[in-house]
Amino acid sequence: MKKALGVAFFFLVLAESFSLAYENPLPLPQANVLPLELSDQFEFRKFDIFINAQLRPRATPMVTRELMVYMERHRSTWGAIDGQETNAKTGEFFTFFWRAKRQADLTLRFEYRQSNLKNLVQAREIYYPAARGSHESHFDILGNDYSEDGR
């Protein structure tokens, strides 16, 4: 009986860890200017930008000996079977690590510009109800957004 409960608990924890996968937020139709409120209660700890761009035709592929870079490139296109699916998973990946020292309802907003759209500011938002502690947020500019609008 204890073994069955242990196995059931293991699968419950495993299912919960798979459900924590993030969804990439969609672009906002209109990126209005928000009031800026600075506070020491909220801080960005670190950010990471990973560019998974396709190679140009007839270009010599850049061979890397760094296994972590090689792994990250393959992880970002995991599950892509053909070229169309690989293109849909190609782009820029932004990861932000931040901390809230007190509990608050927060909206994390990522504003960006792309080279082909000139001065048009685009934005994506993630809402965190009752956020407190350390968090990790992901924003991905992939597929047609990346290939047609530029970096």
**Strand residues in the chain grouped as ranges (E):** 42-52, 91-112, 122-142
What token pair was written down for 140? 């991905």
Q: What is the mean pLDDT of the chain?
A: 77
Query: Shortest CA distance to 45 belongs to which of 118, 96, 103?
Result: 96
Q: Where does the pLDDT of residue 102 fall: very low under 50, low under 70, confident under 90, or very high at 90 and above?
A: very high
In angstroms, the CA 113 to CA 85 distance is: 25
Domain that holds residue 94: 2-149
Model pTM above 0.85:
no
Which pLDDT does position 35 carry in this prediction? 67
In angstroms, the CA 19 to CA 13 distance is: 10
Q: Does 86 or 136 have the greater pLDDT score?
A: 136
Which pLDDT does position 126 carry in this prediction? 93
Q: Which pLDDT tens digit goes with each residue over 3-16?
A: 443 434 444 444 44
Three-state SS at 35: coil
Phi/psi of residue 100, nearest 5 degrees: -115, 120
> Please, are residues 113 and 122 in contact by the beta-carbon 8 Å criterion?
yes
Which pLDDT does position 134 carry in this prediction? 96
Domains identified in the chain, total number? 1
What token pair was written down for 119? 């001065």
